[in-house]
Amino acid sequence: MSDKQTKSAESAKKDHGVLYLGIDLGTSRTSVAASNGVRETISSYVGYPKDVVSRKLLQKDVLYGDDALAHRLSLNLFRPLGEGVIQCKAGDTPDSSQNLRAARDLLVEIVRRAKPRKDELVYAVIGVPAQASIHNKDAILKAAREAVDSVMLCSEPFSVAYGQDMLDDVLVIDIGAGTTDLCRMHGTMPEDADQITNTYAGDHVDEELTKRIRKKFPQAQFSVQMIKTIKEKHSSVMDRMEPVEVLLPVQGKPTPFDVTDEIRQSCRTLIPPIVDGLSKLIASFDPEFQERLKNRVLLAGGGSQIKGLDTAIELLMHERLGGGRVLRIEEPIYGGANGALKIAHDMPGEFWKKLR
Amino acid sequence: MRDIRPVSSERSDWGLFSPEELFELMRVECTRASRYGYDLSCLCVSIDRLGHLQDLYGSTSRAELLDALHELLKSSTRDSDFPRCMVDDALVALFPHTGTAGALTLCRRVLKGARRLGFESDGRPIQVTFSIGVATNRDAGVRDLESLLQQAQAGMALARAAGGDRFMRQEQASNEFDQIRRELEDLRSALDRQGDVVREAASVRRVLDLADLPGGGQALLERPEDREFAARMAALFGTGAGSGPEAEKLRQQAIEFALRGIHEERRRSIERQMRENEGEVDTLRRRVAKLNSSLAATEEELRRVMALKDVDPGVASIYRTVQGLSADAANAKARLDMLNRIFQANVELRQNLQPGSVPAEIRAKKDPDHE
Ligand SMILES: Nc1ncnc2c1ncn2[C@@H]1O[C@H](COP(=O)(O)OP(=O)(O)O)[C@@H](O)[C@H]1O
């Protein structure tokens, strides 16, 4: 049999009885893309009723995502992937085992939402933050093996790049809530030298925006959550952006404020640190391929939805590096999950079987 | 039960009616159909991943999408003047003088039409898909407009839950359950067939073992076809060789030898087959186990879906754009390399962390002399 025949026979058979999942296990969101077409995302929160009364009231043993957040007062709330890693230290403190349980429950839930048929074997590729330690990968692996039938971990930027069909010489910028991760990929698994992480990310923009609005409109009252909502709705770094007028209470009375410039300036604080990082990763790369790398920058993560950010980064790259091209991935929320699904699906069947 | 009322008539190019008036029109249509005894079907259509599309492309996209859906419905029917209204984010429409068959044809047209909707953003095509629930006034349990709408909505919920880009009737829910049961049967019988191979192998092996015992040659003659073979051989010997105890013994030995050869061959072939099927059997067993353990859960799940109105939006169409490593792909080799590396990294991850949990066959690979 020719190689090709084997392959197509294999891939025809492979789909039978197996559901492939790509899971993006993020600090703030966990998303799944499944080979049955289902895609889902939940915020990475897991909550357990504090006591019998809360349990009766909520009528659930576990709550997830925004549902958990909404009832946080009656819950023991976990964010299992806080800091991009499962929060558990060496040794079995009660807290670490609780967190592991929360991670497992989160995975079980996201798998459930992918709607596997009852008899389907579930094979998942999980994208984990590039900086996750070995210890943490172990924890994720443990949690995952109870949720699916076969699992592989893969560094998150890797899956984003794979999803875009960019396998080699590519720089991935992933703007999350707590951190912005830059990762250089050149065929092999990224090593420490290929990664730069800074904390100029979503939360930082929220803080900046809070500071600026407070300074300009000291009379306005608002919460962090309101600021975040405003940001997510209007975020932009463009010179010419639509004016943003928001209603904020002043002594209880909703009052309009123009925060266009505050939003623009806050969002722009992300750009210089990103280009700093890009410069470092490009400069330390094989000179022959630097030009290519410069022109293959992928922008991903929730923060990549800031309007005009790709062009703005390009502009600064031109200024400081003499050129550059930034490609924003089409679906920031599912970029990692889509890529992981693609990996899961492309992975030869015998590999899956060996890792059961 | 949730209150079913039209919430808006924002796309009401079909007149200057208020939502309440539209709903009243539908009720009149429904009453008339039952009074004069003609068919009436109801379609409840929602746009898959509407929220998501809206996030990506802004709120104008919602209006545009609804417009397109509306046009599509109109162009798919002969009489474009059917009563309709928006209920939550779904378009609900009634089609007088249309029975089940007609309604299903209509659904197919609409789903197909969606393929041709040329939405784009930033020059990239966006595939829009719909989830459709269908009900008719002949369906069991339909008495009035409310129950008709409810069944159509339940169908839509099922369509969404199944991944969208499809139509469903509420009746299908129970069919689905039956289907799972049938699948379980199929799996079980497939497993049985695999079991036959295993049993066959065991029997051949036993015969060979028995034959090795002193005077065990008799075991080789268990099967009729083997006995017939032996008889033919004996007849052949009879024509040529002489008689006497020596010749008799020789004949016996030759027959035994040949039979043993046949059995050996049989054993090898069955074992080869078994090896090939081992993976298959394993997968089947696991699937059966899984199906078994959750048949009840399915029932539960169905109940849940039926009770829920806002089930998760389906997204069937998207996966098609990210599917499959084809051997023809330009960079198939590079990709396979990558996949190999990911796999190796995962093998190492397990080796480093939990030596006990790594299957022996993988661990063995680390040692080059092992094989
Ligand atoms: N439209 C938007 N504009 C700007 N920032 C956004 C937008 N949507 C989400 N974000 C921000 O993206 C961050 C979450 O990104 P995500 O990639 O989901 O995080 P993580 O990888 O840490 O789980 C949050 O800070 C969120 O406020």
The CB of A268 under 6 Å from ligand 1? The reply is no
pLDDT at A207 over 60: yes
Residue B151, token pair as written in the block: 């069944």
Are B241 and B292 within one domain?
yes
CATH number at A3-162+334-355: 3.30.420.40
CA A29–ligand 1 middle distance (angstroms): 9
Q: Residue ranges of the domains in chain A?
A: 3-162+334-355, 202-268
* Dihedral, B259, B263, B268, B269 alpha carbons, nearest 10: 100
More confident residue, B311 or A38: A38
Distance from the alpha carbon of residue A177 to the mean position of ligand 1, in angstroms: 5
Which run of H or E residues covers position B189? helix B172-212
Model pTM? 0.57
Q: Based on the domain organization, do B152 and B10 belong to the same domain?
A: yes
Please indicate, yes or no, whether residues B341 and B286 belong to a single structural domain of this protein: no
Domain assignment present for B242: yes
- Contact, B158 vs B166, CB < 8 A? no
- Mean pLDDT throughout B227-241? 74
Distance CA B85, CA B43 (A): 11
Element (H, E) at A123: strand A121-128
pLDDT 10s digits, A228-261: 999 999 999 999 888 999 999 898 888 999 999 9
Query: Dihedrals φ, ψ of B43, to 5°?
Result: -115, 135
Q: Please work out whether the CB of residue A27 comes within 6 Å of at least one atom of ligand 1.
A: yes
The pLDDT value given to residue A261: 95
Asked if B163's CB is within 8 angstroms of A351's CB, the reply is no
B36 and B105 co-located in one domain: yes
Complex ipTM value: 0.78
A325-329, B63-67, B336-340, B362-366: which has the highest mean pLDDT?
A325-329
**Which range in A121-135, A198-212, B228-242 is most confidently predicted, on average pLDDT?**
A198-212
- Clarify whether residues B194 and B152 are in a common domain: no
Last residue of a domain, one of B308, B338, B355: B308
Q: Is residue B169 part of a domain?
A: no
- Give the residue, B168 or A284, on which the prediction is more confident: A284
Domain assignment present for residue B171? The answer is no
Q: Would the CB atoms of B297 and A34 count as touching at under 8 Å?
A: no
- Which of A1, A111, A119 to mutate to probe the B interface, most B CBs <10 Å? A119
User: Residue A350 has what pLDDT?
Assistant: 81
Mutate to test the interface with B, among A118, A140, A145, A164 (most CBs of B within 10 A): A118
Rounded average pLDDT over A343-356: 83
Fold agreement (A3-162+334-355, A202-268): yes
Range of the domain at B258: 178-308
**Distance between Cα A228 and ligand 1 center (Å):** 9
Domain presence at residue B195: yes
Domain end residue (candidates: B308, B329, B355): B308
pLDDT tens digits along B60-115: 677 788 888 888 888 888 777 788 888 878 899 999 999 988 999 999 999 988 88
Q: What tens digit of pLDDT does each residue of A154-189 get?
A: 888 888 988 888 878 899 999 988 889 999 988 766
Encode A295-331: b = buried (16+ Cβ within 10 Å), e = exposed: bbbbbbbbbbbbbbbbebbbbbbeeeeeebebbbbbb
Closest CA–CA distance from residue A249 to any residue of chain B (Å): 25
Asked whether residue B76 is assigned to any structural domain, the reply reads yes
Lowest mean pLDDT among A329-333, B111-115, B305-309: B305-309
pLDDT at B311 over 70: no
- Same domain for B20 and B156: yes
Atom of ligand 1 nearest to the CA of A202: 25
The answer to whether the Cα torsion of B174, B176, B180, B185 is positive or negative is positive
| H/E element, B284 | helix B245-293
A149 touches chain B (CB under 8 A): yes
Number of domains in chain B: 3
**B346-368: burial string, b at 16+ Cβ within 10 Å, e else:** bbebbeebeeeebeeeeeeeeee
Which pLDDT score, from 0 to 100, does residue A219 have? 93
Q: What is the CB-side half-sphere exposure of residue A227 using CA atoms within 13 A?
A: 22
End-of-domain residue from the set B164, B192, B225 = B164
Assigned domain for B315 exists: no
Q: Do B49 and B190 share a domain, yes or no?
A: no
Rounded to the nearest angstrom, the distance between the alpha carbon of A231 and the centre of ligand 1 is 10
* Cross-chain residue pair A138–B290, CB shorter than 8 Å: no
Yes or no: say if B267 and B201 are a contact pair by the CB < 8 Å rule: yes
CATH class name, domain A202-268:
alpha beta
CB contact under 8 A, B124 and A330: yes
Instruction: For residues B304 and B325, state if they share a domain.
Output: no
CATH number where B143 lies: 3.30.70.270
Same domain, B120 and B189: no
List, as ranges, residues 282-321 from B with C-beta within 8 Å of A.
283, 286-288, 290-291, 294-295, 297-298, 312, 314-319
pLDDT of residue B44: 94
**Better pLDDT: B363 or B241:** B241
| Residues B207 and B280 placed together within one structural domain of the fold | yes
Residue B155 sits in the same domain as residue B230: no
Average pLDDT estimate for A106-116: 91
Name the residue with higher pLDDT: B165 or B59: B165
Higher pLDDT, A349 or B92: B92
For residues B231-248, average pLDDT = 71
Is residue A10's pLDDT more than 50?
A: no
Nearest neighbour of A134 by CB, restricted to B286, B298, B352: B352
Q: From atom 13 of ligand 1, which residue's Cα is the shortest distance away?
A: A177
Q: A342 to chain B, minimum CA–CA distance in Å?
A: 6
Identify whether residues B207 and B302 lie together within a single domain. yes
Q: Where are the alpha helices (DSSP H) in chain A?
A: 3-14, 52-58, 65-70, 94-113, 134-145, 156-163, 202-216, 224-234, 260-268, 271-283, 287-294, 309-321, 335-346, 349-354
Give dist(CA B371, CA B365) in Å, integer.
Answer: 8
> CA of A36 to nearest chain B CA: how many angstroms apart?
7
> CA–CA separation, A125 vs A271, rounded Å?
31
